Each structure stands twice: as C-alpha cells, then as structure tokens.
Amino acid sequence: MIESANLLASKTWHIQHAHLVIAAMRRFAEELRAAGFAVDYRFARTLAEGLHDHRAIHRTEEVLVMEPASRSARERMARLGCRVVPGNQFLCHYSDFAAWVNRRLNVRMEDFYRWQRRRLGYLMEGTGPRAQPSGGRWNFDADNRRPPPRGHVWPAPLTSPLDDLDRAVIEHISPFCEGESPTGIWATTRAEARRRLDHFIDRVLPGFGPHAEAMTTGSMHLAHSLLSPYLNLGLLTPAEVCDAVQVAFDRGLVPIASAEGFIRQVIGWREYVWGMYWAGMPAYAGLNALGATRPLPPVFRGNAATQMRCLDQVLSEVRTHGFAHHIQRLMVLGNLCLIAGVDPAELLDWMWASFVDGAEWVMVPNVLGMSQHADGGRMATKPYASGGAYINRMSDYCKGCHFNHSRRTGEDACPFTTLYWDFFARHQVRFARNPRVSRQVQVAMRLDDLSEVRECANEVVTRLSAGQL
Ligand code: SF4
C-alpha cells in the first residue's frame, strides 16, 4: 500500500476527504497485519516510486491490483505493469454496460435501472420474464418530491471517536487541505461503515424517500444515507447494501417508496453514471458544450462571503462536513454555476476535492453531464437550471434571505431568478427545440423586461466573480 505525496498535493482537498481515504488505508493495513498478512506500507513521492522500491526490495514477480473505478488510475496501473483484477464496487461492469448500450438509440437511466432490477432481482415479485416490480410500479420517484416538513427531527448520524491514528493523519495532511477538521462522522473502517449501514436501515431508511429532494437549514443530512463515501472507497459493497434494504423490505420494516428510491440510487443511478463515464472517456472530461468560461466564484473556496442564504448554507455544510446531498449539489451549487456560465472543469475539480465521496468517475458525468450540461445532453436531456422559485419550494432557505426569490430585477432580485431567465435567453438557439425546456425559452424571450434582466444578470456575474454578492 502506497501513500503518494504527489497525489496528496495534487489538489486542495477537503481535509475530511483526505483524512477518510488515508486513515481508512492505514487502518486497513493494521487490520491485515492483525489477520496475519505481511503488509508493505510505503510513503513515497509518487506511486511509481513506491512501487519501484517495493519491487526492488521484495523481488516481486507480479503485482495484482483491484481494478480502479476511474480511468486515469486504471491507465496508471497498466503503465506501471500491474495486473488488474475485477473488483466488487459495482454490480454491472462497464464492459457489460457497453454491451447493454450497444445499438440502443436511447440510453436512458430508467431503462438501464429496470434491466438491473430484473437481472439482479431486487424488489421483484416472481422470477424469470414474468417477474413484476414489487408494489406494482418500477419507480416511486413522483412520491419523493415533498418539501421539507416543519419541525421534523431527523435521526442524527453516528460518529466514531477520533484516536491517535486519526490525529497523526490530520497533522500529516493539514498543510495540503482546507475545510473543518474531521469530527468522527465519517467511518474509516469496514466495521464502522457496517454499523452506519445498520443504523441507516433501522432508523433512517423508513423515512427516506418523500423528502429526498428537500433542503433545510435544520439538517444537512435529512434522511439521506451518508453511505456513498463507503461505497466509493470500498468499505461497503453495493451488493451488501442492497441486500440489507431487500431484507428490511421483506420484513415489512420499510415502505416500498423508501426501499425503491434507495435501490434506484445504488443499482440505477450510481452504476449508470459509472457506465456512462467509461463509455465517454477520455473525451468526456474535456467537454464544455455551452462554452462556459467564467472562473469558479471565490465564495466556493471560502475566499468571500455571500448574502445568498441558500449558497451560504450549503457551502457552510460542505466546509463543516465535506458533504452536501444530491439536490444541494445539483440545484444550488451546480445550478448557480450553470446559469452563471462557470467553466465546468473548475466546478468539477472543486467538487472532486471537496466532497468526501468525490472521485473522477463519479464527478465527470455528474458534474459535466448532469449538472453543467457540458456533454450537450448525453446524461440529462434538459439543463438543470432553476430560478429562486424552485429553491423556495424545496427549502426553507429563502425565508430571511437578503434577496427576494420572486424578483428578477432590482436591488433585491434573487440572483438565481435573474440568471435563470438570462440563461435561457443566452442559449435560446440551443434549447428552443428541446421539448423539456422550449417553453422556458419562449417565456424568456417574451419577457417585457428582458433587456433589464440581462443587464442585471451581467451585474450579478460580475459581483459573483468579485466575491461581492
Ligand atoms: Fe437563494 Fe434566492 Fe432564495 Fe436567497 S432568495 S435563498 S438567493 S434562492
């Protein structure tokens, strides 16, 4: 096992992200030694140098590595002469995904998800071609879009006390990192990750679903599982997570909308994103279909304050925990960058470093495709642009904000609302024939104050870039 100094210095990582990866590695090495394995744990300038030293000292005949999820790591392993063996971090290998895609005109997540459900048997009644989805429907997504309930107390996440190993890692990585120091919320062993899975199934999953898209100042997690870092790091496997959900559903402990919503995230979205990533790389990482070139606003890196309550809230949660749930990522952070015309590569780099579950394979399609429409619609057939009205409906952020979510011009105009209309006016040619957003284009072009909106939008992006919004 090799800790590469160059990799650590390659980005300004959120300290909780870097801590999670490195502490989990060191603990895994300890567990292996305790189980009787000989572990060569190296600190090297680069992975190549660490491997070279290992080979020289141990006269290794062959080095086997579990297949990395991301292409750049996969290629590095090949260049270093390692033999890659299949891992268990996904239930559908990207080569099987490619075979599924072959000759399809539309590569829709929903079709892939149903194929996965049938083939893996999760939440299915009966077997073979006659098998039907449990609950009589494939998808309960429409039931999962309720706004945040008032005064609800969400189950608190489990924590683990930090020990000397954590403190040593934190001291080692601090010079390369930003964000608040680890609090114990993220597990760094498989046993602790399993404990969090059990906690999620028993306490959280029954309430997962109806408020999956809600955002509130009272809780950063609501009923989200917080399991993605463990799935992406290999501390949990998707099979064991889905098996646990199936068992809880079979015992009548979890409603179908919650079980289905969660299974869809794991065997649907997560695996679809991985397959799309491999199908599109290496070109995918350089796409910028909307020609967005503005730098990431300084407020993202903590170099400025903001009066936008939604943005301030989400960024403060990222700083505190290295986490934001998918709607906060898509509809606040991503949405703002999309409609403000921020370079998608800058957002991708920031999200990869800032979120504890960040990795190249997950960020390229999610950020460039889903969030920034930089792939021209391969991942999402419409741009995920919204004004303040959506954020107001799905959160409690707008109450008490300096801006007014329903105003698009004037001193107190909501930046999201202003930029939303400007976005559709700016990209009218591209989206005029898109059936999912053509109406927004028409409405934007008919606004009687459009020129004022566009002037206001210019001012908004200037102030955002200057850290004065
Ligand atoms: Fe965000 Fe606009 Fe709502 Fe303020 S009014 S919280 S800026 S959406």
Predicted TM-score (pTM) above 0.85: yes
Instruction: Work out which ligand 1 atom sits closest to the CA atom of 387.
Output: 8
Q: How far does the centroid of ligand 1 lie from the alpha carbon of residue 349, in Å? A: 25
Choose which residue among 310, 327, 332 to substitute to test ligand 1 binding: the one with the highest number of ligand atoms within 8 A of its C-beta: 310
Six token digits for residue 383? 């741009």
What's the CA angle centered on 13, arms 8 and 19, to 5 degrees?
75
| Nearest alpha carbon, ligand 1 atom 8 | 388
Do 105 and 30 reside in the same domain of the chain? no
Instruction: Work out which ligand 1 atom sits closest to the CA atom of 397.
Output: 6
| Domain C-terminal end among 85, 112, 127 | 85
Task: State if residue 398 touches ligand 1 by the CB under 6 angstroms criterion.
Answer: yes
Do 237 and 386 reside in the same domain of the chain? no
Do 56 and 151 reside in the same domain of the chain? no
Do 363 and 414 reside in the same domain of the chain? yes
Q: How many whole angstroms separate alpha carbon 235 and alpha carbon 188?
A: 8
Residues 6+ apart with CB under 8 A from 43: 2, 3, 5, 50
Do 104 and 253 reside in the same domain of the chain? yes
Task: State if residue 388 touches ligand 1 by the CB under 6 angstroms criterion.
Answer: yes
Q: What is the pLDDT of residue 172?
A: 95
| Nearest alpha carbon, ligand 1 atom 1 | 310
Where residue 420 sits, what CATH number does that domain have? 1.10.579.10
Q: How many whole angstroms separate alpha carbon 241 and alpha carbon 400?
A: 39
Instruction: Work out which ligand 1 atom sits closest to the CA atom of 405.
Output: 5
Residues 6+ apart with CB under 8 A from 242: 91, 120, 122, 263, 266, 267
Coil/strand/helix, residue 401: coil
Q: How far does the centroid of ligand 1 lie from the alpha carbon of residue 414, in Å? A: 6
Do 356 and 290 reside in the same domain of the chain? yes
Question: How far is the CA of 132 from the CAs of 127, 128, 140, 161, 243, in angstroms?
Answer: 8, 9, 15, 45, 18
Task: State if residue 387 touches ligand 1 by the CB under 6 angstroms criterion.
Answer: no
| Nearest alpha carbon, ligand 1 atom 6 | 398
Task: State if residue 315 touches ligand 1 by the CB under 6 angstroms criterion.
Answer: no
Q: How far does the centroid of ligand 1 lie from the alpha carbon of residue 395, in Å? A: 10
Do 330 and 421 reside in the same domain of the chain? yes
Amino acid at 434: N
Q: What is the pLDDT of residue 144?
A: 66
Q: Could you give the number of structural domains in the chain? A: 3
Task: Classify residue 129 by burial, with Cβ atoms within 10 Å: 0-12, 13-18, 19+.
Answer: exposed
Do 275 and 290 reside in the same domain of the chain? no
Do 247 and 361 reside in the same domain of the chain? no
Q: How far does the centroid of ligand 1 lie from the alpha carbon of residue 376, in Å? A: 27
Do 262 and 318 reside in the same domain of the chain? no
Q: How far does the centroid of ligand 1 lie from the alpha carbon of residue 398, in Å? A: 5
| Domain C-terminal end among 217, 249, 284 | 284
Domain of 234? Answer: 94-284
Instruction: Work out which ligand 1 atom sits closest to the CA atom of 401.
Output: 4
| Domain C-terminal end among 221, 249, 284 | 284
Q: What is the pLDDT of residue 214?
A: 86
Task: State if residue 391 touches ligand 1 by the CB under 6 angstroms criterion.
Answer: yes
Q: What is the pLDDT of residue 140?
A: 87
pLDDT tens string for the chain (469 positions)? 999 999 999 999 999 999 999 999 999 999 999 999 999 999 999 999 999 999 999 999 999 999 999 999 999 999 999 999 999 999 999 999 999 998 788 888 999 999 999 999 999 998 888 899 999 999 987 766 677 677 778 888 999 999 999 999 999 999 989 999 999 999 999 999 999 999 999 999 988 877 778 898 988 888 888 999 999 999 999 999 999 999 999 999 999 989 999 999 999 999 999 999 999 999 999 999 999 999 999 999 999 999 999 999 999 999 999 999 999 999 999 999 999 999 999 999 999 999 999 999 999 999 999 999 999 998 888 999 999 999 999 999 999 999 999 999 999 999 999 999 999 999 999 999 999 999 999 999 999 999 999 999 999 999 999 999 9
The answer to whether residues 76 and 56 touch, using CB atoms and an 8 Å cutoff, is no
Q: How far does the centroid of ligand 1 lie from the alpha carbon of residue 216, in Å? A: 13
Do 210 and 348 reside in the same domain of the chain? no
Q: How far does the centroid of ligand 1 lie from the alpha carbon of residue 457, in Å? A: 15
Where residue 189 sits, what CATH number does that domain have? 1.25.40.80
Which secondary-structure segment (H or E) carries 312? helix 309-321
Do 461 and 435 reside in the same domain of the chain? yes
Q: How far does the centroid of ligand 1 lie from the alpha carbon of residue 290, in Å? A: 24
| Nearest alpha carbon, ligand 1 atom 5 | 405
Characterize the bridge pairing of strands 132-133 and 124-125: antiparallel
Task: State if residue 397 touches ligand 1 by the CB under 6 angstroms criterion.
Answer: yes
